[in-house]
Structure 1
Amino acid sequence: MTATVEQLAPVAELATSSAQNTATWIVAALYQFREVSNPADLRERLLNLVQSINLCGTLIVAVEGINGTVAGDREAIDRIRQFLLNEGFNAMEYKESLSQEKPFRKMKIKLKKEIVTLGVDVKPRDLVGHYLNPQEWNDMISRDDVILIDTRNDYEYQAGTFKGAIDPKTESFREFPEYVKQQLAEHKDKKIAMFCTGGIRCEKSTSLLLQEGFDEVYHLKGGILKYLEEMPAEQSLWQGECFVFDGRTAMTHGLEEGKNEKCHACGWSTTPEERALPSYEHGVSCLHCIDKTTDKQKDGFRMRQSQIVTAKRKRL
C-alpha cells in the first residue's frame, strides 16, 4: 500500500513562547492557490523560519498552494508574510484581526494533499465562480431567483449565517460534493451564491459546481470575515456570529471578538443564553452534546477541565 503524504510527513508542532511583547495578538488568515513544485521543501524552510519567531497557529502546505491562520506580534506576522511573498505567494487572500489572548496553543505546519480537503479533483486556479465584493453580495443575495448556500459545517452555520442561507448539514467539507449531487443537481440552471469563512472553501465549491455543469455560480470574495470587516452593521445581512477555528470562537462586525464560546466537549459554539441553561457545564457539556456522552466521558471531561484550571493558575 502506498503511503499518503500525511503518513510520510507527520505534522510538525513547535512550542511557542507564552510571553508576548504587545497587549494583543495579531491573527493573520491567509491562503492562495498556486502550484508548489516541492511542498516538502517549502515546509522545511517554513519550519526553520517559525523556530526563530514568536508565532502560533497552523499552516497547510500542498502542491496546490498554502492555507492557514497564524498569530503573533507585529514582527512575526510581517516576517511570515514577507517570506511567503518572496516565495511567489503575491496574490494571497489575506486578513488580519486581533485577539486579546493567545488564540492557538502551538505552531503547526502540515503537509497535505489539499490545502482544504474536498476529496474531489477540481481546479480553482482555472475554473472558479464570479467573485462578489460585500456590496455586490448584498445585492445578489437579496434577489428572489438566487439559491444561497452556506458551504461551512453544521456547527459553523449554527453560530451565525446570512439571512435566507441553506444549511447543507455537513460535518466536514468532504461531504459537500455528495450534497451537490443529491440536493443541487436539478438546479443547474439557477443562480447559485455560496460563502464560507475566509473564501477558500468557496474557491473549490464554485469550481466543483462549474465542473458539474452549473450555469451561474457566485461567491463572496474574502468570505464572511471580509464582509464583517467592510460592511457596516446597519447594512448587513449577516445574522449571529462567525465561528472561527481559534480560541476566540466567533467574530462579529468590525472583526470584533463575539460573545459565543466553544463547548470543549463537542466543539459547538454556544451563546450566552445557551450557557445559562442547566445542560451547560464548562468544559463538560452543552445543550448540543449533553445527551451524546456517557457519565464516564463527562467525568473524564471534568478531570481534564480541572487540570486546565490548575495549569492556568500555575502560569499566573
Structure 2
Amino acid sequence: MPTSTDLPLLCPVCSGQLVFSDANAGGSTAPGQHRLACTSGHSFDAARQGYFNLLVGKGTAFEADTAGMVEARFNFLGHAHYRRLAEAVAAAVVPCISEERAVVLDSGTGTGHYLRVLLDTAAAQGRPVSAVGLDISKFALRRAARLNPEAVNLVWDVWQPLPLANRSVDAVTVVFAPRNPPEFARVLRPTGRLVVVTPRDGHLAEIAAMTGMLAIEEGKDVRLAAAMGRHFDLEASSDVDIPLALTRPEAADLAFMGPAGHHLERREIVERLEDRAEPVRTEAKFRLLVFRPKNVAAA
C-alpha cells in the first residue's frame, strides 16, 4: 500500500478531495486494505492486489491491454531490455521535482517498470517523491501495484478529466501511452515538466517485418507537436537507441506486448518466429521529449 497518503487526489464523482480512510470501519474490506473516500461519502476500496478502480459511469471506449499482453510486457521489461530508456526518463524527471512534497504522475504506467526506476533514482539522490500511476488495464495495475507498492495505482481513462487537483504535480511521464495535453497542463505545477516517449521510424523494424507488428504511423511527430503546441513548449528532445539480441520467446513477448497484441494471437507470432535463428536482432528507436507548460505567467 502507498507509503504517502497525502496526495492531491480528486473524487471522480464530485471532484472533492479523496483521502485514505480506514477500510475496516465499514467492515466491507479485509484487514490491511485501504479505502479512498471523499467528504460527500463516495468511496473506493482497494482491490486485493493493491490498486484502486476509480472508473464510474458508462466506462471507456479505450481498449485496455489484455492479461496476455501485460504478461508479455512484464516478462520483457523484467529482463531489463529497456533499462536504458527507463534511466533516460528518470534522468529527465528527477531534476525537475521539488525538494519537498514532490509528486509524479505516470500516465499509462503499465506494469510500472519505468516508474520503478524513476522512484529508485530519486531515492538514491535523496529526493523522495510520491507517485500516482494511472492505467486503463486492471491486469497491468495488478503488476504495477506489486512492483511499486509505495505509489497510488489507479484504474483510469486518460481521456477523462484526471482525478488530480490543479497544479499539484511536479512531472507527468507518458511512455507509449495516450496523451491528454489539456489535462496534463492543468495538473502540472508552473515549474513542472511533461516527459513523453514515442517510437521513431525504424523502431523494431526487423521484428515488425517478421511478426506483423504495426508500423509507425507516418506524420506521428507532426501530430504530436500540433497536439502539444496549445499547452506546452518543447524544451528538449533526445533519441535513445537500444540494440537488441533476443531469444525467440523474448522476441514474441516484444511483439505481443504492444498494439499487435490487440489484433494477433501470441501463438501466431510464435509460429512466425519459430524458424528464425537466435539471437533475433533488432533495434529499438525512441524519442524522449521534455515539455514545459506554456504561458505560465499568464495562467
TM-score normalised to structure 1 length: 0.28
TM-score normalised to structure 2 length: 0.29
User: Comparing both chains, which one has the higher relative contact order based on Cα–Cα distances under 8 Å and sequence gaps of 6 or more?
Assistant: 2
